[in-house]
Every structure is written in C-alpha cells, then in structure tokens.
A and B are shown apart, each in its own frame.
Chain A
Amino acid sequence: MKWRTLETKKGIRCRVLEAGSGAPVVFLHSAGGLLADNPFLDDLARRYHVFAPEWPGYGDSTGEDLLEDMLDFTLHGWDVVDALGLSRPHLVGHSMGGMIAAEMACLAPRDLGKLVLVGAAGLWLDDHPIPDIFALLPFELAELLFVDAQKGQALLTGGADLSDLEALKDFYVASQRRLAMAGKILFPVPNRRLSKRLYRLTAPTLILWGAADRLIVPAYAARWKALIPSARVELIEGAGHMLPYEQPEAFASAVGAFLG
C-alpha cells in the first residue's frame, strides 16, 4: 500500500492510503482513524482498487477547522472522491466512517456503486445507549472495542512504547486531535438525524456487524435493516466493534462476496 496526498477543491490536504487495482472502493475509517497496520485493506486490494482517505485531524491530513457539521463532513467525502477522479466507487464505512458513507449515499444516491456499513454510527436507540467514548478511562476503550482487549490495546497503540514520556505525549496529542474532530458529529449523542434521510438511499447495501460489538451493539444492525429494508445484514463471530481489525479475512471475504 502506498500513501498519496491530494488537495480537495475546498483546500483540504488529504492523505490517502492506496493499493490494488479493479473497481474503486473507498474505505472511510472510524473515529480512531487508520491504525499502523490495516491488513483488511491489503486483503481488499487483491480484488479492488482501494482508497482509504484520512479525515482532517487524522494523521497527516489537515483542514479540521474547515469542517464543522454533518453536511461539511458529507461534502468532504464527495470532494475526496472527486479529487481522486473516481466514478461511482463502492463506499465502505466503519463506525463513524459508516455514518459519513451513509450520509454521502443519501445526499448523492446515484454517485456510488454499493454501500457497506460496518458497525456504523449515526443512529440512536434509547434502549441501547451507546457508551460515551468522550468520557472513558484509558483502559476502558480497548474493552469496548475488541473481543480480545489485550490484543486490541496493542493494535490501538501500534506498538508504541508508552512508558516513554515523549511517545506517550505524541500518542495523547494525536488522539486528542482525532477525537476533537470526531466530536463534531458524534458528541454528545452520535445522532445527526440521518434516519430521516435514509429514504433517499438507492445503493445496494450490506450491513456488517461484529456479533460481539459492545460499543454499538448488534441491535443497531437490526435498526439499520428496518430503515433500509432492501439491505442485507451479516453478523461476524469473534469480532467486536473493530471487526475489520479483529477478523480481517472474514471481513474482506464478506465485503468481496457482496461487492462482486
């Protein structure tokens, strides 16, 4: 996989991870951003031309002050697709990225191929309140995101030695920067009324969920299905919210089977 940097028409510098060839697939990352290793993208790149843009505030991408609300986020998604010169790409969105992908698909339903929502944020069920990721103790995050919290913790920190104070500082600052951005569409309740726009969606849709997701529990998969009746739902065992990282092969094969 290789990095490239592009500039959108709005003037946002966006770093994109790119690999493979074939039909274009745009992967939109979660609130945590891309991790150091993203093996599921390598798997997808065997069949597709994969693009994984980093959102403003994440990694080397800049321009976070230019995006303030859900519409800004949604249009930025399409600005990146345009800057990449893609025509009708498939959109695969994970968690916050799923929320953005679904919004993009409602705003411009004829501009995408298929839509894959992976543990997608964007809906709210009073009976299943989503834990507040903005008020967690450091060790709580991995427990919410992964079936295997210990392994997950290592994935999140990307092998950085956090006993080194400078490394810890860098990790802390980067994480504050990412979540500050995510908060613009996820705080205090991750619901920007997407549900009232979903009627516009026409793309064939797959709803993919970790069967053991503790952050956005599988009841939300059923809610997505109720709002998008034509969608297909698949639960993957042995995976929590970070499904693409915990079960990369199962993830890539489910996505591949759906995209064709």
Chain B
Amino acid sequence: MKFTWFNLMPWPYLPDDFRDDPRRGHHVYHTYLDQLEYAESLGFDGIGCNEHHQNGYGLMPSPNLIAATLSRRTSRAALCVIGNSIAGYNPPIRVAEEFAMLDVISGGRLVAGFPVGTSMDTNFCYGQIPALTRDKYREAHDMIMQAWAGEEPFAFDGKYNQLRWVNCWPKPIQKPHPPIYIPGGGSIETWDFCLDHDYNYSYLSFFGYLRGKSLLDGYWERVAKRGKDESPYRAAFAQIICVADTDAEAEALYAEHCLYFFNRCLHIFPPFADPPGYRTMATVKYGALSQLTQSRQKILENLTWKQLVDERFVIAGSPETVRQQLEECIKGLRIGHLFCLMHNGNMPDWKTRHSSKLFAEKVMPRLRDLWPEWKHDERWWIHPMDERIRPEERRPGAEKPREGWPS
C-alpha cells in the first residue's frame, strides 16, 4: 500500500464571516505547508494537493505553487498534484511546462493528476462551455502528452488550441512520463480513458468507502471486461481519517472539525454541481434517478458525528478501529493508493499532527502489505533520481557549486 497525506486546505474561519482575510491566510498557508512537510517526516509515501477555485473548502487555485514550495523542503515523498484541471488552461502547454518543472526540481517525485475539474471550477469559475469541456479536456491531455514525448519541435493543430511550435522545455525526469492519475467523480467514460492509457483512476470522494463501492465496482468490472490485470495500484481512493487513543477520544477531539467540514465547507449551491452538458448524456441517464431523488443533498444537511462515523464518511477511532475499517475499505474497493485526508475543516494544527502521528506509527505499518502479490508493482508510483539534491538540508548563500555545474 501507498499512503499519501492529503490536505484540501479549507478556510478554517467560516463561522464568523464568509470573507477572505489575506493576513490570516498567511498563517493558514504556512500551517498547512508545515503539516505536509511533517507528513513526509512521519513516513507517508506521498503528500498531496489539488486544485479548486473561489471557494472555502480548498484554498489552492494553483496546486503547482504549493508543490513548488514542497519540492524545496522535502526530498523523499511523492508530490501528488491531483491535479491540474487541464480543460481550463489556455494553452495547456503551461501544465506540461509547470509539471515538468516540478518533476525536475523535485528530482522525479511528481505524480501528475489531470482532472476534468468540478463543474464549479472548470465551468463556473473558469468559463469553459459545459458541453465542450470533455472534448477540450481530451485535447489538452493530448497536447501535454505529446509535448512531453516529442523529441523535435512540432505543430499542434487542435480544435481549441493551435500552437505552431510546441517544444516543451524542461521535460520531466520520469520517463516516459510521471505517473498519471485521473480523478473521477462518477463519469463512466473516465474508466475507459484510464484503461486506454493505463492511468490510475482516483475516486476523490468525501463520502467514504461504503458509498464509493458501487462506483469502484463498476470500474473493476470494466477493468476485467477490458482484459487488463487487476493490480490494485490502478485505483486510488480518498478517505477522511481521524485517529486517537480510543474511539471516545476520537469523537471528543475531532467531531466538531469534521462537522465543520461537512456542514459548512461543503455548503454548496446545488445548481453549481451539474450544469447541463457537464456530464455526457450516457452518464446523465446512468445516474439520472439518483440525482433526482435529492437524497444526496438531504443527507448533507445537519449531519451528526454518529452519521459520519456509521456511514464511514469519516473513519475515526482508536488505531485498531481505524485499521479494521481501513482494511475493509482497501480490500472492499481494491485500492493500492489511499489518499489520507488527515486535516479536516478547522482542525487545529496539534490535533492534525496528533492524528497523523498515531496513524503513521500504529495504523500504516499494519496496512502496508495488504497486497503481497502486487508488492513489486510500481507502475503507478514515482521513480525519482537516485542522486538527488536535498534542498531542505542546504543553507542559503554559502555553498560552492555542486558537481555537474559548469565551471
């Protein structure tokens, strides 16, 4: 198993007002960055971030900036940027360039995510036409992959992007490209897209493994039908996790912060979720009834801790409780990558660290080898350079040029 410590970076001061406060933000960002760096020191395999726009539950309009700061203060963990919503970039060569920079600076530690993006992000914040978003996404993907693969400058004559000269420089260290993760939110076409290219399929849900199961089951059926091997590393799942010494203590420590996340951060105007055209007609028909019954919206209103825990939106409790439930999650969904949402809502720094430390010391080691037969499958993980610079150990200013620098 691979464990990635993931932070959405929610705004932790929503109760008082819904306004931005850049001076407080200064402290918020540094706290979150410190936590991500701390996660590396605890032994997490990866540290993760993603892209959201104009909302309070994810303060990372540019995850690449976050990954860039992490690339200078860490040296071992994978930098999982899950990812850049490529349909919104004009031209998308920008993503090829920035991801390549991150891979080069980090010595080959980038995991590159290419989400279509939520409709809020890609359509409402970044103005892309819903019915053309997926087409534009595919074109952006093609441009990026060709830019990374191209040995010679070439022309790209796309429907949405025309570039006479594509000559990406730098190119990623990882060959043929960094591991690619496609976060899906339930569009059935995404499964085939992942399998066509052998990309990792990541289901980034906030609603736990019990609800994620039917979607992942659909994915694995598709994997079997396509005759692909069933390596669990083809799939990733995000799960909110809170660890304490006992179950009772978990509730005392974390309940209010998880409830803040669900009842405040996820307070989203329903029409922003699904404008006409964002999903294909096939997906709309596939899920039309469930979208209409509104049970999903209702369930999000005034959630209680008991609901969160019973329905496994949150896996919380003693190390043993968490281990048990996560084993069920990992085996049930057949996933090789777990995105561990360890910071939630307005959780204070010390609690986040406490929970992360307990997880790393008492839970993670016991879940490591759940897939012994796939132990050596590294197809969906980073392959960094052996001789990497350890930037976090360097002192600014004084050092003499390193080996390999022209003299």
Contacts and interface: CB of A to CB of B under 8 A. Distances in A.
Interface stretch (B14-22, B248-256, B284-292): B284-292
Interface in B246-301: 269-272, 275-277, 279, 281, 284-285, 288-289, 291-293
Interface of B: 123-124, 127, 129-132, 159, 269-272, 275-277, 279, 281, 284-285, 288-289, 291-293
B130 A183 contact: yes
A175 to B, nearest CB: 7
8 contacts: A134-B275, A137-B271, A172-B288, A173-B285, A180-B131, A183-B276, A187-B123, A187-B275
A184 B281 CA distance: 15
B284 A173 contact: yes
A177 B270 contact: no
A177 B289 contact: no
A137 B285 contact: no
Contacts of A136: 271
Nearest to A179: B276
B124 A175 contact: no
A137 B270 contact: yes
Nearest to B127: A188
A178 B275 contact: no
A226 interface: no
Given A136-B271, A168-B292, A184-B132, A176 B124 contact: no
A221 B385 CA distance: 65
Given A135-B275, A169-B289, A177 B127 contact: no
Contacts of A183: 129-131, 275-277
B288 A169 contact: yes
Nearest to B274: A176
Among B124, B131, B284, B289, which residue has the most Cβ atoms of chain A within 10 A? Answer: B131
Contacts of A177: 276, 281
B131 A173 contact: no
Contacts of B272: 135
Contact of A176 (B270, B281, B293): B281
Interface in A102-154: 134-137
Nearest to B281: A177
B277 A176 contact: yes
A68 interface: yes
Nearest to A135: B271
Contacts of A257: none
A173 B124 CA distance: 21
Contacts of B130: 134, 180, 183, 187
Nearest to B131: A180
Contact of B277 (A173, A180, A189): A180
Interface in A151-209: 165, 168-169, 172-173, 175-184, 187-189
Given A169-B288, A183-B131, A183-B275, 7 more contacts: A135-B124, A137-B271, A172-B291, A181-B131, A183-B129, A184-B277, A187-B123
Nearest to B160: A68
A178 B276 contact: yes
A33 B129 CA distance: 19
A181 B277 CA distance: 7
Contacts of A179: 275-277
A172 B290 CA distance: 12
Contacts of A169: 288-289, 292
Nearest to B288: A169
Contacts of A135: 124, 269, 271-272, 275
A183 B130 CA distance: 7
B123 A175 contact: no
A96 to B, nearest CB: 13
Interface of A: 64, 68, 134-137, 165, 168-169, 172-173, 175-184, 187-189
A254 to B, nearest CB: 32
A207 B73 CA distance: 64
A87 B400 CA distance: 82
Contacts of B269: 135
A175 B61 CA distance: 32
A175 B276 contact: yes
A136 B275 CA distance: 9
A182 B132 CA distance: 11
B281 A187 contact: no
Contacts of A165: 289, 292-293
A150 B182 CA distance: 44
Given A135-B269, A172-B288, A183-B130, A188 B123 contact: yes
A76 to B, nearest CB: 15
Nearest to A134: B275
A184 B276 CA distance: 11
Nearest to B130: A183
A137 B269 CA distance: 9
Contact of B276 (A68, A134, A137, A189): A134
Contacts of B275: 134-135, 179, 183, 187
A176 B131 CA distance: 10
A182 B288 CA distance: 20
Contacts of B292: 165, 168-169, 172
Among A135, A137, A181, which residue has the most Cβ atoms of chain B within 10 A? Answer: A135
Contacts of B279: 176
B134 to A, nearest CB: 11
A181 to B, nearest CB: 7
A96 B23 CA distance: 45
B104 to A, nearest CB: 35
B276 A188 contact: no
B102 to A, nearest CB: 30
A185 to B, nearest CB: 9
Contacts of A189: 127
A169 B288 CA distance: 6
Nearest to B279: A176
A187 B285 contact: no
Contacts of B129: 183-184, 187-188
What 3 A-B pairs are tightest by C-beta distance, nearest first? A180-B277, A179-B276, A180-B131
A67 to B, nearest CB: 10
A70 B36 CA distance: 47
